[in-house]
């Protein structure tokens, strides 16, 4: 049998094994502690950067929203202003100085007329109105809406949406099918449906504006409405039809020998407007297309809407026709709106 190793060798192996085990245990504890410390640090770092990311994201989102609102508001209003058919207020005398330069007799007359408006009538600003053949209707309707003026008394008693059919079926006005929508020149069997939509829009918008008590809110809504050419066109055609309806009503009264306002006697005395059909064919159908409202049309408009339309006719300065009203004898409780014109063709809105 082989001899057993001496005891000293077993002691040396045991010592070496124990030392190695202790060393490995120490290294493992150190490594474990380092790993746990690293993991703790990593978790803390992740939490920190997560909170920083959330905070930074929140602040970044706030700043982006803030800048978007600022730029959106700025460019939205700039964009809208490009299409406004009634521009913002400008100083009256500054506008006059810009538009009427030189020393011609007409230029001097206009400058004096504007000075008269500023000093005597206390008109400080003016709102320029888009120059087209609807501008008289636009100037009047803009002020009715912006001032929150209520419906005429006769409109409160009737559903104006049904007036196109009323003219046809109750009063036998078949000629209404020849009504022309300004530059569109639309006529035909569906004219009643088209007129009804126009009048319905007028009623809806008028009701909405009349129900708003805040002046600034009405002004903001007017800026939006009067930058939409399609809606404007429908509103003006509705106003034209309202004028035609009133002419027809008064004509029926005249046929029954009732007393009618003097302005309608003047209207029916003209060969070109001796009855509602001739008035429509020779005058009203052209409004918005080849011409605007004439003076007698302004009378009818004021009468139909029950508003006193005061017009400063600047080219008539120093004459009795410088300041006129349509109609000349409005009822006392009718609201008043003001216009100014340099030529009886195009109108602007004075701001007191």
168 with 31, same domain: the answer is: no
pLDDT at 7: 55
68 with 96, same domain: the answer is: no
> For the residues 238-262, what does the mean pLDDT come to?
94
94 with 46, same domain: the answer is: no
Is 281 inside a domain boundary? yes
Reply yes or no on whether the pLDDT at 68 is more than 70.
no
Dihedral pair phi/psi, residue 350, rounded to 5° = -75, 145
Is 80 inside a domain boundary? no
> For the residues 231-241, what does the mean pLDDT come to?
97
> Nearest Cα to 161, choosing from 192, 191, 190?
192
What stretches of the chain adopt beta strand conformation (E)?
86-91, 125-129, 308-313, 323-326, 336-341, 347-351
Is 82 inside a domain boundary? no
116 with 193, same domain: the answer is: yes
pLDDT band at 186, cuts 50/70/90? low
Reply yes or no on whether the pLDDT at 338 is more than 60.
yes
174 with 69, same domain: the answer is: no
Instruction: Give the predicted TM-score (pTM) of the model.
Output: 0.76
Domain boundary among 51, 73, 95: 73
Is 10 inside a domain boundary? no
55 with 175, same domain: the answer is: no
43 with 185, same domain: the answer is: no
Is 99 inside a domain boundary? yes
> For the residues 285-305, what does the mean pLDDT come to?
95
Average pLDDT of the residues of the chain: 86
238 with 284, same domain: the answer is: yes
249 with 198, same domain: the answer is: yes
pLDDT at 79: 45
Q: How many domains does the chain have?
A: 2
32 with 62, same domain: the answer is: yes
185 with 249, same domain: the answer is: yes
C-alpha to C-alpha distance for 154 and 103, rounded to whole angstroms:
50
For 22-57, write each residue's pLDDT tens digit.
777 777 777 777 777 777 777 777 777 777 766 765
Is 338 inside a domain boundary? yes
pLDDT at 5: 53
Percentage of the chain surpassing pLDDT 70? 84
C-alpha to C-alpha distance for 6 and 2, rounded to whole angstroms:
12
pLDDT at 77: 44
Residue 202's contacts (CB-CB under 8 Å, 6 or more residues apart) are 160, 234, 235, 238, 239, 242
Domain boundary among 42, 73, 104: 73
Q: CA geometry: angle at 19 spanning 16 and 20, to 5°?
A: 85
Reply yes or no on whether the pLDDT at 13 is more than 90.
no
Domain around 57: 15-73
C-alpha to C-alpha distance for 216 and 298, rounded to whole angstroms:
28
122 with 63, same domain: the answer is: no
Is 240 inside a domain boundary? yes
């Amino acid at each position: 049998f082989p001899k057993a190793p001496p005891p000293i060798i077993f002691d040396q192996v045991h010592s070496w094994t124990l030392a190695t085990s202790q060393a490995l245990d120490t290294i493992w504890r150190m490594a474990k502690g380092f790993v746990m410390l690293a993991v703790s640090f990593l978790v803390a770092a992740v939490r920190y950067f997560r909170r920083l990311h959330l905070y930074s994201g929140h602040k970044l989102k706030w700043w982006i929203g803030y800048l978007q609102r600022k730029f959106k508001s700025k460019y939205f209003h700039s964009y809208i202003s490009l299409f406004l058919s009634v521009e913002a207020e400008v100083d009256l005398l500054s506008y006059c100085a810009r538009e009427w330069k030189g020393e011609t007799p007409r230029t001097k007359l206009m400058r004096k007329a504007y000075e008269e408006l500023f000093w005597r009538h206390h008109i400080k600003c003016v709102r320029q109105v888009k120059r087209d053949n609807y501008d008289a209707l636009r100037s009047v309707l803009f002020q009715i809406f912006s001032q929150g003026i209520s419906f005429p008394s006769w409109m409160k008693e009737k559903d104006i949406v049904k007036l196109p059919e009323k003219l046809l079926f109750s009063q036998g006005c078949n000629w209404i099918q020849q009504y022309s929508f300004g530059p569109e020149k639309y006529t035909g069997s569906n004219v009643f449906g088209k007129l009804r939509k126009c009048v319905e829009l007028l009623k809806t918008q008028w009701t909405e504006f009349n129900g708003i008590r805040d002046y600034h809110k009405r002004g903001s809504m007017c800026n939006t409405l009067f930058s939409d050419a399609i809606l404007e066109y429908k509103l003006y055609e509705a106003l034209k039809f309202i004028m035609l309806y009133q002419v027809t009503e008064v004509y029926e009264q005249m046929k029954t020998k009732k007393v009618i306002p003097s302005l309608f006697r003047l209207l029916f005395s003209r060969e070109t407007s001796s009855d509602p059909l001739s008035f429509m064919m020779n005058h009203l159908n052209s409004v918005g297309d080849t011409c605007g409202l004439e003076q007698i049309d302004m009378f009818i408009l004021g009468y139909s809407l029950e508003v006193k339309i005061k017009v400063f006719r600047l080219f008539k300065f120093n004459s009795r026709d410088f300041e006129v009203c349509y109609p000349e004898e409005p009822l006392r409780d009718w609201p008043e709106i003001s216009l100014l014109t340099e030529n009886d063709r195009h109108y602007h809105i004075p701001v007191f």
